[in-house]
Amino acid sequence: MVPECVNSGTHKDKTVRDLFVEAFTEMKASVDRGLDVKDIEALYVGTAMTEFFEWQGHTAPIMASWVGMVPNPATRIEDACATSGVAVREGVIAVASGIYDVVLVGGVERMTAASTEYVTEILAAGGDAFYEAAVGFTFPGLYAAIATAHMHKYGTKLEHFMKVATKNHNNGALNPKAQFNASIRDIMSMRTARAKEKGQPVPAWKDEMEFLNDPQSNPIVAWPMRLFDCSPITDGAACVLLVAEEIAKKFTDNPIYIIGTGQGSDHALHERADLTSFLSAKIAAQQAYEMAGVTPEDIQLAEVHDCFTIAEIIATEDLGFFKSGVGAKAVEEGLTARNGSKPVNTSGGLKAKGHPVPEMPNFIFATKTLVS
């Protein structure tokens, strides 16, 4: 596998094809021994909701056309927030099957041009339209409900969620490609400076927790999830080149090997026996660990899905890093910080880095970290 490229942020003037071509161009330039587009045999591209955002369906051949891959097979994957993760897995399966040796996988979405109310409505389509969205559930709302169940069962506190946000922003401050390339302290300083400039009352937050407890600076989105518990609305694209192990050295001196992968599925939230854990993530992790021949103890760095802060806490439990209900305490004790025993989302996570829904940035960052 050869990385990389991810661009997240606000790009209202660009379309999904612009963003994807940009990511592809950067990826191509990063292949140290060179890549001829003609060598790419197939494309698996994740776009979750382009029909809603720019009235563009059938995105795979469009992307193939714009990166010069026509007439090779191009397949679009849609699996909500797992979209691009599944695209990578489909690419891995295709190469492992022996059908292809060189495959491009990627993900792209452009969301910021739409109003928050419209984005909220569109994202709810990733849930169950007839049972969840129909009674007003939004995506932040579903994770918020999960958070109340976790709080009730394990005593998890709002402060634990705030610790996740603070950690991920601290990490995002070191990532130049992050949508929020700033720690919460940086954001506090910016807000204070802006208030002074405008001659408004200058807020006097003592620390991050005071800022995050202030309903003015951190308003509720879906209680108990506040603004800084939610990953932002983002425009972004990313892609990765997957090649067969035998020919990897033709492209780069430093290939990264994918040694395990897994995937699962689950019911609508209300049908799940346990509201505080994701069965699909547990199953996927078990499969990946087994294929790779490793255990959770062997993992030295994890990029997990933190669309909301509660999701990161639960992911660290489902992946077996911590026992059920202990993920919150682990954040509090700094175990998941960059210098902790189990660093999680050192990229800044989706929280700071941005969350174009197909969600590839965390995967890309992990591979880039491995390269460097």
Partner 1 sequence: MECQEIKGKGELAAFTVIVVVPAKMVAQGYGRDNPYCTGIVELEEGPKISALIIGADPRRGEVRVGMSLTVDFVDFIEMGEEKKTILAFRPA
Residue 116 or 341 having the CB closest to partner 1: 116
Residue 60 token pair: 């795979």
Rounded to whole angstroms, how far apart are CA atoms 183 and 173? 5
If phi > 0 it is left, if psi is from -120 to 50 it is alpha, else beta; for residue 159 that is alpha
CB closer to partner 1, 67 vs 165: 165
Query: Alpha-carbon distance 147 to 51, whole Å?
Result: 30
Is 355 in the active site? yes
Least CB distance to partner 1 at residue 331 (A): 21
Question: Catalytic pick from 5, 11, 81, 305?
Answer: 81
Choice between 67 and 222, CB closer to partner 1: 222
d(CA 146, CA 50): 27
Task: Work out how close the CB of 223 gets to partner 1 at its nearest, in angstroms, rounded to a whole number.
Answer: 4
Residues in the chain: 372
| Alpha-carbon gap, residue 112 to 266, rounded angstroms | 29
Q: CA triplet 229, 230, 235: central angle to 5 degrees?
A: 150
Cβ of residue 12: shortest distance to partner 1, in angstroms?
19
Task: Report the amino acid identity of residue 110.
Answer: R
Which among 79, 83, 122, 75 has a CA at the least distance from the CA of 358?
83
3-class SS of residue 5: strand
From residue 70, give the alpha-carbon distance in Å to each of 50, 51, 74, 292.
21, 22, 8, 34
Instruction: Give whichever of 118 and 257 is closer to partner 1, judged by the CB atom.
Output: 118
Q: What CA–CA distance (Å, rounded) separates 208 from 214?
A: 10
Q: Which two tokens stand for residue 363?
A: 């995967």
Residue 139 beta carbon to partner 1: minimum distance, rounded to whole angstroms? 10
Residue whose CB is less far from partner 1, 51 or 121: 121
For 45-108, the DSSP string reads: EE-SSHHHHHS---HHHHHHHHHT-TTS-EEEE-BTBTHHHHHHHHHHHHHHTTS-SEEEEEEE
Q: Measure the CA–CA gap between 213 and 209, rounded to whole angstroms.
A: 6
- Least distance from partner 1 to the Cβ atom of residue 159, Å: 18
Indicate the residue among 41 and 121 with the shorter CB distance to partner 1.
121
**Known catalytic membership, residue 239:** no
Distances (CA, A) of 357 to 2, 83, 349: 23, 8, 13
* 3 state SS of 290: helix
- Which residues of the chain form contacts with partner 1 (CB under 8 A)? 115-118, 120-121, 124, 128, 131-138, 140-142, 144-149, 151-152, 219-225, 268-272, 275
Shortest separation between residue 195's beta carbon and partner 1, angstroms: 22
Of 11, 150, 160, 355, which one is the catalytic site residue?
355
CB of 221 to partner 1, least distance (A): 5
Nearer to partner 1, 52 or 66 (CB): 52
Do 22 and 7 touch, CB atoms closer than 8 A? yes
Min dist CB 309 to partner 1, Å, is 14
Residues 65 and 37: their CA atoms lie apart, in Å, by 11
CB nearer partner 1, residue 217 or residue 261: 217
Enumerate the active-site residues: 81, 355
